[in-house]
């Protein structure tokens, strides 16, 4: 008499079903990322090369995730067609994708840690360090899970029921969530300080900073919710792969949140009273490259202050490095 099938195979909706739905949702978000990247390079050709490289790296890693997950689903649904027990194994490409997603999360959180430090004019030192520290722990935990899978084998039941995996998922997702909470709180606080005590407390800049605070909170809320759902569904619900639904979207949400903050600059500068792509505040071009001046002449800000630190400050709070 043949042994009974594992309970996970009695209802494919709780296994491959969640992976399939998560894959579809992640592809929708990836399509948005493609548009965001295209808009970024078309709209901000004068951004620094380092920032352009950073955006390209995130997009390349995000694309790699799409390729790896597509291959993993192909192996599961096509190569293992008719092999029911094959549904209980994780393809090697999925293990690699898990590591790439952790790397995306780490890079995005480190970038926001740098933004917190710069926007606060260096007065916030502890929050960026804590952000990077928790992000590094989350990265290490994610890599440890993937390496463990390579060592013990890709059996899904052995992975999900493993105490080692559960502990590392708990540590990794918890630390990533804490890092996002610190980013949201400290970024909002730094922007609020710029609004209340910055050098340009006027209606235009106040409106821009208020909008940036809303963006920061929305961005943090989205990533925190997905991280928590990933954590809860993996650790609290046994014999169920619904955690895949959140994991497959996670990296793409991080990439989109970063691109959305960068691409918001043009919208903000074109909706602060002038209707133009560039807003001039006392001769200062807000959020764009410095305006050209005739040789031997100075702009209004340069005549008043002797330098263009004001422009640098305003560009900083709109996430221009």
Residue 313 lies in a domain: no
E strands present in 35-168: none
The lowest-confidence range among 151-160, 189-198, 216-225 is: 151-160
The lowest-confidence range among 3-17, 139-153, 280-294 is: 280-294
pLDDT of residue 12: 58
Phi, psi of 178 (to 5 degrees): -60, -40
CB atoms within 10 A of CB 117: 19
Residue 42 lies in a domain: yes
Q: What's 246's domain CATH number?
A: 1.20.1070
Cα 119 to Cα 132: distance, rounded to the nearest angstrom: 16
- Give me the mean pLDDT over the 115-142 stretch: 92
* Angle made by CA atoms 115, 119, 120, in degrees to the nearest 5: 115
Cα 170 to Cα 161: distance, rounded to the nearest angstrom: 13
Phi, psi of 4 (to 5 degrees): -65, 150
Structure confidence at residue 316 as a pLDDT band (50, 70, 90)? low
Instruction: Provide the angle, in degrees to the nearest 10, between the axes of the packed helices 163-197 and 126-152.
Output: 160
Residue of higher predicted confidence among 292 and 87: 87
Residue 16 pLDDT > 80: no
Residue 162 lies in a domain: yes
Cα 63 to Cα 49: distance, rounded to the nearest angstrom: 21
CB atoms within 10 A of CB 306: 9
Residue 29 lies in a domain: yes
Looking at the 3D structure of the chain, how many domains does it have? 1
Residue 208 pLDDT > 70: yes
- Residue appearing with tokens 């619900």: 237
Residue 80 lies in a domain: yes
Task: Give the DSSP H or E segment for 69.
Answer: helix 49-74
pLDDT of residue 108: 96
Residue 14 lies in a domain: no
Residue of higher predicted confidence among 83 and 34: 34
Q: Are 88 and 7 in contact (CB under 8 A)?
A: no
Residue 58 lies in a domain: yes
Percent of the chain at pLDDT above 90?
A: 40
Mean pLDDT of the chain: 78
The pTM of this model reads 0.80
Residue 306 lies in a domain: no
- Expressed as residue numbers, the domain containing 212 is 19-276
């Amino acid at each position: 008499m043949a042994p009974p099938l594992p309970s996970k195979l009695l209802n494919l909706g709780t296994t491959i079903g969640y992976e399939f739905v998560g894959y579809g949702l992640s592809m929708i978000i990836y399509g948005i990322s493609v548009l965001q990247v295209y808009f970024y390079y078309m709209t901000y050709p004068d951004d620094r090369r380092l920032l352009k490289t950073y955006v390209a790296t995130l997009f390349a890693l995000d694309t790699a995730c799409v390729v790896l997950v597509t291959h993993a689903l192909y192996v599961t649904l096509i190569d293992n067609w008719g092999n029911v027990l094959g549904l209980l194994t994780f393809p090697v490409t999925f293990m690699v994708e898990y590591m790439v997603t952790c790397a995306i999360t780490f890079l995005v959180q480190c970038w926001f840690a740098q933004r917190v430090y710069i926007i606060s004019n260096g007065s916030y030192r502890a929050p960026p360090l804590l952000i990077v520290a928790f992000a590094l722990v989350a990265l290490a935990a994610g890599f440890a899970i993937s390496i463990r899978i390579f060592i013990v084998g890709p059996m899904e039941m052995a992975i999900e029921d493993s105490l080692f995996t559960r502990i590392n998922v708990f540590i990794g997702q918890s630390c990533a969530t804490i890092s996002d909470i610190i980013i949201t709180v400290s970024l909002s606080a730094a922007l609020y300080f710029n609004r209340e005590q910055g050098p340009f407390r006027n209606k235009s800049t106040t409106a821009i900073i208020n909008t940036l605070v809303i963006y920061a909170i929305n961005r943090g809320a989205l990533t925190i919710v997905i991280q928590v759902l990933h954590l809860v569904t993996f650790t609290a619900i046994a014999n169920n792969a619904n955690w895949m639904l959140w994991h497959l979207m996670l990296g793409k949400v991080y990439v989109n949140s970063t691109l959305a903050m960068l691409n918001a600059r043009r919208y903000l500068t074109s909706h602060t009273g002038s209707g133009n792509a560039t807003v001039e505040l006392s001769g200062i071009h807000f959020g764009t490259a410095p305006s050209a001046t005739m040789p031997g002449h100075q702009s209004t800000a340069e005549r008043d202050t002797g330098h263009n630190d004001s422009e640098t400050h305003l560009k900083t709070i709109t996430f221009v490095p």
